[in-house]
Chain A
Amino acid sequence: MIWVTWRQHRAQILVTAGLLALLGLLLLGSAVEAGRYVAEHAPPGCPGTDATCGDLAAALDRRYDAVYSLFGWMPLVAPALVGAFWGVPLLGREYERGTHRLAWTQSVSVRRWLAVKLSVLGATAVAGGLLLSLMVSLWRPVFRVGADSTFGNIGVFNMVGVQPAVWWLYAFALGVAAGSLTRRTLPAMALVVAGVTVTMFTLFRLSVHYAEPARVELSGTVVLEDPDARLVSAAWVEPSGREVTEPSVGGCPRGVDVGQSDRNARAWQACLFGEGYRYAVYYHPPSRFWRFQWTEAGILTLASLALGGLAVRRARRD
C-alpha cells in the first residue's frame, strides 16, 4: 500500500519538495547576503536597539521586505495548494475516474487503503509544514534584532512554530473531505480554496478569545509600547475610573484632521490626558505566543480528524 500511495501521489510530493527546496535556497541566499552586509557596514554595537543602528536596520528592512513580499502570501496559498493537490485527488479523482471500483475491490480493505493513504500523506504534509516553519524561523532573526513580530503579525504567526504543519494537515483533510463530497476534482479544489480562506479569517477573529486579554492603562500616549502585541480593544477611562468609548468632556475641542496629519487628534488626546483621563488598552502580549500556537493547533487538528472521519464514513458507506 505504501508503494501505491507513493506511486499515486509522488508528483505532488516531489513538486512540493522542489518548491520548498527553492524557497530554502532563496532564504539561504538572502540570509547570507544580509549577514555579509552586516559584517561590512555595521557600526560598532549594531545590530541592536541603539540609536546609531537606524541606518543598518532600514537596510535590513529593505532586504527583508523584498523577500517577504515574495512569500508573504504563503500562509494562505501553501495550505490551499496542499488541500487542492494532495487532499482532493485522494478520493475525488478516484470517484471522478471510477477507479475506486478498481482500488476497493482488491484484497486490501477500504479501511486499510484509507488508513495508509491518510496517515502517510497527512504525516508528509505535517513534515513539509514543519520544514517551512524551520526555514522561516532560521531566516527571520538575521533581519530582526530586538523587536519581532512573530506574534502580532498574523501572517508571520502562521508561518512559524507549529502553524504551517497544522494548516497543511487541515487543508489536506479538507481536500479529502471535499473530494469525497463532490466526487469531482475541480469543484472540490474550489471548495478547498474557499474553505481555507474562510477558516483562516474565522480563526483570526476567534483568536482574541484564546485567552483573557491583558489590560494596561496608558497616560500621555495611546500607543502600546510593545509592537508585537495583538490589540483586542481600547477605551477611555474617566478620572472616576469608569470606562467609556466616547469621552464626554466639554473642555476639549475635537478638531478635524485633514489629509495625513493627525495634529488635531493628538491635541484632543493630550487635552483629555490633561483632564485626568487615561487610555485603557486590552491586548495579548507576545509571551502568549505558544499558548496561541497550541490552541490553534488543537482546533485545526481536531477539525482535521473530523474531516478525515467524514471522508472515511462516506467512502465506506457505499
Chain B
Amino acid sequence: MRAALEATGLGVRRRRTWVLRECSLSVPAGRVAALVGPNGAGKTTLMHTAVGLLRPTEGNVRVAGEVAFVAQDKPLYDTFTVAETLTFGRRTNTRWDDAVADRLTGLGIPPRRKVGTLSGGQRAQVAVTLALARRPDLLVLDEPLANLDPLARHDVMRSIMAETADRELTVLLSSHVVSDLEETCDWLVVLNGGRLQVSGDIEELLDDHLVLTGPVEASAAGARVVGESRTGRQVSMLVRGTPPQDPRWRARRPGLEELVMGYLRSPEAAALPRPAGVGA
C-alpha cells in the first residue's frame, strides 16, 4: 500500500508554543481521509506543512506526486472573473485539464461573473474546480464545507467524490463537524492540542472499539478504556479491543462521532498504528 502523504516526527513551533508536535502519520493512496479536531488542534498547520506553505520546525512531511490545496475560506482573487480565475490556474500550473475546468459551466456558474459576487456555494465550487483541474494525486481541503448551507455542502462534497471515483485521487479534508464526513471518508486522523491521537481506517477503528454502558459498580478490569462519562448511576465508556469480563456491561459498536468524541475528551489516549505499521 503506497502512502500518498507521510509525516515523520513533524513539529511546528510558533514563537514559544508548539502548535504541532511529534506527529507521525501515513495516509494510503486512494483514501478519503478526514482530519478532525477542535479549533486550534493544529489541523491547518498540518495541512500547510503538507502543501509547502509552512516549513516544519522539526521532522518532515512527504507527499507523493502533485498536491492541490484549497485553503480555509477558499481564498480567490475577488476582482477576477470566473474565466480569469481558470486562466490563472492554467497559467500557474504545469498540469491542467480544461475538461475538468469546464464543469463550472455545467454547474450554472457564469464565466464572466466576478468571483467576489458569487454565492458561498459557487465560490466553493470555483475553488474546488481550480484544485481538481490540476489533476492532483493528493487533494488537500481545509474546512471545505464551513459557512455553506446544507444543499451547498452536499453539492461540493458530491463534486469532490465524483472525481475520486474516476481515478486514484487521495483526499485529505478537515472539518470540526464529524457528521459531514461520516458518509464520504474511509480514513480518520484525529488531532488534539497539536498532537496526533488517532490515525487509521475508519471501519477497522470502529470494529476495534466498543461503547459499554452499565452500572457504576461494574468492573472495567482487563479493558483498554479510552474514556468514560457518568450520568447518575450509569456509566458509559469507549473501550478498545476486547471488552471486560463483567457481565453487567452492555456493548455495542460506536458511531464515528462517538469514537471521535471519546478520544477528544481524553487527550492522553491514542489509537495509532505501531511505528512499524506506518507506511506499511
Contact = CB atoms under 8 A, between A and B. Distances in A.
Contact of A3 (B53, B54, B73, B87): B87
Interface in A266-312: none
Interface string A101-124: 111111110000100000000000
Contact of B91 (A3, A98, A102, A317): A3
B88 A105 contact: no
B17 interface: no
B53 A318 contact: yes
Given A107-B92, A107-B93, A108-B93, A102 B87 contact: no
A21 B94 CA distance: 39
B88 A318 contact: no
Nearest to B84: A7
A102 to B, nearest CB: 5
Q: Interface extent on A, as a size class?
A: 20 to 34
B51 interface: yes
Contacts of A317: 55
Contact of A98 (B55, B75, B89): B75
A107 B75 contact: no
Nearest to B55: A318
Nearest to A97: B75
B68 interface: yes
Contacts of A4: 88, 91-92
A8 B88 CA distance: 10
Nearest to B89: A106
Interface string B127-165: 000000010000000000000000000000000000000
B76 A99 contact: yes
Most buried by B among A3, A8, A101: A101
Nearest to A98: B75
Nearest to B92: A106
Nearest to B78: A97
Nearest to B69: A105
A3 B93 CA distance: 13
Nearest to B68: A105
A113 B53 CA distance: 14
B71 interface: yes
A218 B46 CA distance: 76
A134 B11 CA distance: 56
Interface string B64-95: 00111101110111101000100111011111
A100 B52 CA distance: 12
Contacts of B53: 101, 104-105, 318
Contacts of B93: 106-108
Contacts of B73: 98
A99 B93 CA distance: 16
Contacts of A97: 75, 78
Contact of B77 (A3, A99, A101, A108): A99
Nearest to A102: B75
Given A101-B53, A105-B52, A1 B71 contact: no
A99 B77 CA distance: 7
A97 B73 CA distance: 10
Contacts of B69: 101, 105
A7 B87 CA distance: 10
B80 A108 contact: no
B84 A102 contact: no
Contact of B71 (A8, A101, A107, A108): A101
A97 B95 CA distance: 26
A184 to B, nearest CB: 16
Interface of A: 1, 3-4, 7-8, 97-108, 113, 317-318
Interface of B: 48, 51-55, 66-69, 71-73, 75-78, 80, 84, 87-89, 91-95, 134
Given A4-B91, A99-B76, 13 more contacts: A4-B92, A7-B84, A8-B77, A98-B71, A100-B75, A101-B48, A101-B53, A101-B75, A105-B52, A105-B67, A106-B92, A107-B94, A318-B54
